[in-house]
Amino acid sequence: MKGITPPLNVEESGGGVMRFSPDEALRLESGGQLNGFEVGYRTYGQLNSDASNAILVCHALTGDQYVASPHPTTGKPGWWIELIGPGKPLDTGRYFIICTNVIGGCMGSTGPSSTDPATGAPYGLTFPVITIGDMVRAQALLVEKLGITTLFAVVGGSMGGMQVLQWTVDYPNRVFSAVCIASAPRHSAQNIALNEVGRQAIMADPDWRGGDYAGLGTRPEKGLAVARMAAHITYLSEAALQRKFGREFQKDGVSWGFDADFQVESYLRHQGASFVDRFDANSYLYITRAMDYFDLAVAHGGVLAEAFRRARQVRFCVLSFTSDWLYPTTESRDIVRALNAAGARVSFVEIESDKGHDAFLLHEPVMEAALSGFVASAAKARGLKS
Amino acid sequence: MSMVREDFREILRLVRPGARVLDIGCGEGALLQLLTDEKSVDGRGLEISPGGVAACLTRGLAVVQGDADRDLADFPTQAFDYAILSQTLQAVREPRRVLEELLRIADRAIVSFPNFGHWRVRWALMAGGRMPMTGSLPTPWYETQNIHLCTVGDFVDLCDALHVEIEAAAALAEGRPARSIDPRLFIENWRAETAIFLLNRQTPKDGSSPRPDRPERNDLFD
């Protein structure tokens, strides 16, 4: 239990970096392993005496463990502060909330920007390719270290939702309930295509240096910013973009050139520029790759219901949003159909919203009501005190 | 139990304790809750409105958002003991297909609907020359969800055509307990305001399958 720091503010109850010794290697799906890896994490609320009230929150592609506390680089509030806190759907007065940085990330968990103990230099592209399953295996080791056998709930949106599903498939007896929001059981061709645009933008930046930029003292900021700009569009919807920006100009109107004349251009440029301050380009490559490789059915003869066969006693809640075209409702319905076929206990709501994929990070009353209801009733079934 | 709707009370009576039940159009989950509390059923619901599903989640029920016309196909064959379709058949686009789906998903179906053959309905149309508005059909024609109204006689004909066995039937009138009926009797088609049927797949006497295209029991359809 090294690396635990005292609470940083009212919300955080612990966390830091958990270091695993070289004899606790992380096996990887690609065949390799990580010796002596680290997992960055934060906790909120208190673990009860029988360790039965722990909720693991899984973050999305560019998220991190600062789910309910200010980001150390940007100072912005936690990314799921709408859902986590006293009296919120994930009530910190009742549950012990854990959020970890994924393996391959750049906020404290071992990733391509970490130092390779074998060479003493940053891994760069010598970092092994990781999968959603690998991320989950690292989380399982951390959860075990925290003295928790069974998680009361695993909750996540987007790539976080993939981790949730993977948890129920790989560790069905260690998960009591699971909430999968705006996600999919596999990455679609469109998802892979969009990720590839981002990766190519990074690799086309001369400062990327074949992935060795850290050792060579450069940063592929332009490529990473373009990747973020393209991705950011996919998190919104046509209606949301139109409502927010329309065809509004920046102050001076038409420049007869290629400045950011339109507000939407300026907004995207800002999104790209601020992203590079907090994210590592190689992490972006590795994590998007992990998402592309994600296909829960593939290890089960292509039958998704088979993947969930051992998870039939887990209580599932699946949520999607009407305007999410990145992880559309049809993909959530695929999950629901397979869970029904496996005989699992599943609830599903498609939430009316015009905010696109990002709706899961925003204030959405129906999502909050559904999540509150589901978690509270699961807590009752689990026998947790209110 | 005094506040329980009469149709719910009748459904409670029909369902075997501990059964697996799918309630289609479960609203805010009142019936499912009742079945869970009183009959310890393993209940699931299908409900079209997100608000209804959210309310069901608060009650701790497992409910999937969807509609009877489109989403019953997502449920595996013979996954339930009972499929309940309460006051919804007349509002679906394809009642015949929905009825077949109910009996694919479950061994038995419980179906209730307003009887368009009720004397009050007939009288309103005959004497007034206007689309009937009665206790069980309270909405004007231009606002009603009911697009496939039928009479008890029509429904019996459909069951016969689909080789569906009618195990039991009851008539409901507002505020009165359910009355067991023989739905093939001419008079009941006049007297029943709302009808409720317990159906099952007919077992043919010669032992052959009435529907040879029916897949073998298999809960993997993905």
- Per-residue pLDDT of B95-149, as tens digits, reads 999 999 999 999 999 999 999 999 999 999 999 999 999 888 999 999 999 999 9
**Residues A214, A302 share a domain:** no
Categorize the per-residue pLDDT at B215 as very low, low, confident or very high, splitting at 50, 70 and 90. Answer: very low
**Residues A346, A207 share a domain:** no
> Are B58 and A306 an interchain contact pair (Cβ–Cβ within 8 Å)?
no
Q: Please list every residue in chain A whose beta carbon sits closer than 8 Å to the beta carbon of residue B61.
A: 347, 377
Q: Looking at the partner chain, which of B50, B58, B63 has a beta carbon nearest the beta carbon of A351?
A: B50
Q: What CATH number has the domain bearing residue A143?
A: 3.40.50.1820
Return the residue of B nearest to A372 by Cα: B58
Task: Please confirm, yes or no, whether A158 is among the known catalytic residues.
Answer: yes
Distance from CA of B51 to the nearest CA of A (A): 7
Residue A5 falls within a domain, yes or no?
no
Distance from CA of B8 to the nearest CA of A (A): 23
pLDDT of residue B3: 53
**Residues A74, A18 share a domain:** yes
pLDDT of residue B16: 96
Return the residue of A nearest to B60 by Cα: A377
Q: Please list every residue in chain A whose beta carbon sits closer than 8 Å to the beta carbon of residue B219.
A: 305, 341-343
DSSP label at B130?
S
**Residues A268, A231 share a domain:** yes
Task: Please confirm, yes or no, whether A334 is among the known catalytic residues.
Answer: no
Partner residues linked to B171 by β-bridges: B179, B195
**Residues A142, A20 share a domain:** yes
Q: How many domains does chain A have?
A: 2
Other beta carbons within 10 angstroms of residue A313's beta carbon come to: 13
Distance from CA of A383 to the nearest CA of B (A): 13
CA distance B59 to A378: 10
**Residues A111, A44 share a domain:** yes
pLDDT of residue A253: 83
Q: A95 lies in which domain range?
A: 12-188+292-382
Distance from CA of B123 to the nearest CA of A (A): 43
Which residue carries 């099952």 as its tokens? B200
Residue B219, pLDDT > 70, answer no
> Are B54 and A304 an interchain contact pair (Cβ–Cβ within 8 Å)?
no
Q: Looking at the partner chain, which of B51, B60, B65 has a beta carbon nearest the beta carbon of A377?
A: B60
**Residues A129, A224 share a domain:** no
Task: Please confirm, yes or no, whether A261 is among the known catalytic residues.
Answer: no
Rounded to two decimals, what is the model's pTM? Answer: 0.91
Residue B222, pLDDT > 80, answer no
> Are B64 and A346 an interchain contact pair (Cβ–Cβ within 8 Å)?
yes
**Residues A38, A154 share a domain:** yes
Interface residue of B23, B26, B53 to substitute, partner A, most A CBs within 10 Å: B53
Average pLDDT over residues B168-183: 90
**Residues A310, A161 share a domain:** yes
Is there a contact between B180 and B168 (Cβ–Cβ < 8 Å)?
Answer: yes
Of A231, A265, A290, the domain-final residue: A290
**Residues A69, A173 share a domain:** yes
CA distance B45 to B75: 11
Which residue among A52, A158, A183, A283 is the active-site one? Answer: A158
Which residue among A134, A261, A292, A324 is the active-site one? Answer: A324
> Are A340 and B75 an interchain contact pair (Cβ–Cβ within 8 Å)?
yes
Partner residues linked to B170 by β-bridges: B180, B196
Of A245, A269, A290, the domain-final residue: A290
Of A243, A265, A290, the domain-final residue: A290
| Structural domains present in chain B | 6-116+148-201 (3.40.50.150)
Residue B2, pLDDT > 90, answer no
Distance from CA of B218 to the nearest CA of A (A): 9
Q: Helices B95-105 and B152-161 sit at what angle, rounded to 10 degrees?
A: 60
pLDDT of residue B204: 56
Q: Looking at the partner chain, which of B51, B74, B219 has a beta carbon nearest the beta carbon of A336?
A: B74
Give the tokens for residue B52.
């209804």
* Run means of pLDDT, 10 residues per run, chain A, 386 residues: 41 92 94 94 97 98 96 93 93 96 98 94 96 98 98 98 98 98 98 98 98 94 98 97 95 88 96 96 98 97 96 97 98 96 93 96 93 94 89
Residues 6+ apart with CB under 8 A from A305: A337, A338, A339, A341, A342, B219, B220, B221, B222
Q: Please list every residue in chain B whose beta carbon sits closer than 8 Å to the beta carbon of residue A348.
A: 53, 63-66
CB contact A368 to B (< 8 Å):
no
Residue A7 falls within a domain, yes or no?
no
Which residue among A134, A261, A357, A358 is the active-site one? Answer: A357
Q: In whole numbers, what is the pLDDT of chain B averaged over residues?
A: 89
